[in-house]
Amino acid sequence: MDEKITEAASKDNYRQEPKVGVYVCHCGGNISDIIDVKAVAAALAKYPGVAVAREYAFMCSSNGQDLITKDIKELGINRTVVAACSPSLHELTFRGVLQRAGVNPYLHEHINIREQASWVHKADHDGATAKAIKLAQAGVEKVLRKDALNAIRVAAEQRVAVIGGGVAGMRAALSAAGKGLEAVIIEKAPRLGGRLLELGKMYPSGEEGPAVAKKLEDLVLAEPKITVHTGAEIDFVSGFVGNFKVNFKKPDGSSQQVKAGALVMATGYEHYKPAKGEFGYGEDGNVLTLPEFISLMKKLPAGRLEYGGREIKSLALIHCVGSRQVEGVHKPQADGKINDYCSRVCCTSALYAANQLKEKYPGVRVYDVYRDIRTYGMQHEDYYDKASKDGVLFMRHNETDQPVVVSDRTGHTVKVKDVLTWGEELEFKADLVVLVTGMMPADISLIRSQMKLPASADRFLQEVHPKLRPVELANSGVFVAGAAQYPMDVTEAMASAGTAAAKAAILLAEPDIPLEPFVAVVDEHKCTGCGLCPPECSYDGALMMTEKNGKKLAVVNPALCKGCGACVAVCPVRAINVAGWTLDQFDAMVEAIAKE
């Protein structure tokens, strides 16, 4: 935000009599199909303190925003209430409208009548409408008591720390450097490259993974704005947006620290490791994972496929090992969860490997046992077509009838109930069984616990919103890139890394960073120094006790405070409030809702 505009608007708004504009959104039928939006607007138009109330099809559209801007300029509206969808989607949108119109952007209240009224009361239109009116009235009471806040400014290190030196980490660092920022890559492996170093030929260039890694590595090492630390084991991450500290140890035991204004989490993924005995893995040497098989093929000469001292004449690929697992069918992981997500890239990788196998060893019979095949990338369906034309035999099973691998001295017998032949039970011999394993996030439990990073049910780092804020974590100043977020191929990982670097560059475009002002504020005159609040705070350094003029007081570090309100709840004398969410505002909202 432009702080000069905000500060000027703030002073003006303090002098003005509150004039509230209420705007009710149809949300394309999501709201108006259940709630009588005209009735809501009509009721709010009569409510004390409201100067104008309107309803519109899409308030977030440019026309809807223009409607608010026009009222601000022509009617003198200086506070707004928008009754629409979740504030996580468009609260920032409407704050921006106020700011552009010269009104303090924090004199806005966003009321959720979609998730909290229309979607939960679909069978009670009258009740949903009445509830929407009450919620909007509560919003008016709150905004009437709002202060014209200013963003908090925090000095920022003009540097990005990239955790992880795979394809996403290297691309993020190069992109950040290209935007004028210093970048530091912290990689635990002895060299850069990550999983790229394991890959064979890649689509669409046909280049080997290690060759692509080498090109990126050369670019990184040649860039003066990028510093690289390999063999670095991170032991502590602390700080806040603009002032992060990453402590790590090098192989010789020396400890180092990197200070950064933003973090890019490019920690990548791990291959699913089948449990001992899963399809015979770990009990029979002729059962491999796909990554292991790809590594094997790179080493062997063309013409005759041999493994373990014997010729391989037939091979079975079994898909979805460690992905799309079913509760009650598959054994849970160590954390008690199953991997019920699709790893996305495995099918294409398996088909590509099958095609390479048929080119290098045309005499080998290849059986592909799958549940579903998902070749979602551009022209990746060509891999399936080529495999079919080259004689790969496909068999499809359903989610509960898993294929069975029986091993004996003569090799392996694979049994599958084939959906493609109307459930016929088929058996075939395979000299080698290759398990197409899925992807799991790399183990970053230490960093996650220290930084309290959000993770999805699938254990990957979770973005704020997949469309509106696709690479931002809930932790301010922390961005995610590549397969740390969800299974991706190389092109997707590089694209997300570039986006993360761009977001970091925007954040660090100025020497200091504006932060949301919704933090705890202590009234020194009311504070008795009882010390009950610091133990309730979940954020290290955000709330501490100090002594001032011989009196013990609670003091807040606004850069670390997240505005959760835990301290407010335990203060016996109401000496603490969260700016923008004061106890007086809550009282007024409750009274508005309870009033007959």
Tell me, what's the pLDDT at 564?
92
Last residue of one domain, picked from the residues 455, 477, 512: 512
Tell me, what's the pLDDT at 6?
42
Distance CA 39, CA 422 (A): 57
Distance CA 416, CA 425 (A): 6
User: What domain count does the chain have?
Assistant: 4
Q: Which residues make beta-bridge pairs with 581?
A: 578
Length of the chain: 596
Tell me, what's the pLDDT at 560?
83
Pairing outcome for strands 255-260 and 262-265: unpaired
CATH number at residue 546: 3.30.70.20
What is the span of the domain harbouring residue 326?
Answer: 273-439
CATH number at residue 411: 3.50.50.60
Contact 500, 523 (CB under 8 A): no
Question: Do 376 and 401 belong together in one domain?
Answer: yes
Tokens of 396: 């499809």
What does the pLDDT look like over 301-334, one tens digit per residue? 888 899 988 899 999 999 999 999 998 888 898 8
Tell me, what's the pLDDT at 541?
85
For residue 183, give the 3-state DSSP assignment.
strand
Contact 41, 131 (CB under 8 A): no
The number of helix segments (H) and strand segments (E) in the chain equals: 14, 30
Contacts of 359 (CB under 8 A, 6+ apart): none
Distance CA 201, CA 212 (A): 10
What does the pLDDT look like over 477-510, one tens digit per residue? 999 999 999 999 999 999 999 999 999 999 999 9
Q: Which residues make beta-bridge pairs with 370?
A: 396
Question: Do 534 and 506 belong together in one domain?
Answer: no
Angle, alpha carbons 446-447-453 (nearest 5°): 120
Regions of the chain short of the pLDDT cut 70: 1-15
Please check whether residue 594 lies inside any domain of the structure.
Answer: no
Distance CA 16, CA 555 (A): 32
Tell me, what's the pLDDT at 137?
98
Tell me, what's the pLDDT at 15?
53
Please check whether residue 326 lies inside any domain of the structure.
Answer: yes
For residue 510, give the 3-state DSSP assignment.
coil
Question: Do 25 and 85 belong together in one domain?
Answer: yes
Question: Do 28 and 95 belong together in one domain?
Answer: yes
Tell me, what's the pLDDT at 9?
45
Distance CA 125, CA 35 (A): 6
Question: Do 506 and 536 belong together in one domain?
Answer: no
| CA-based nearest residue to 312, from 277, 335, 288, 338 | 288
Question: Do 59 and 142 belong together in one domain?
Answer: yes
Q: Cβ-count burial of 370 within 10 angstroms (0-12 exposed, 13-18 middle, 19+ buried)?
A: buried
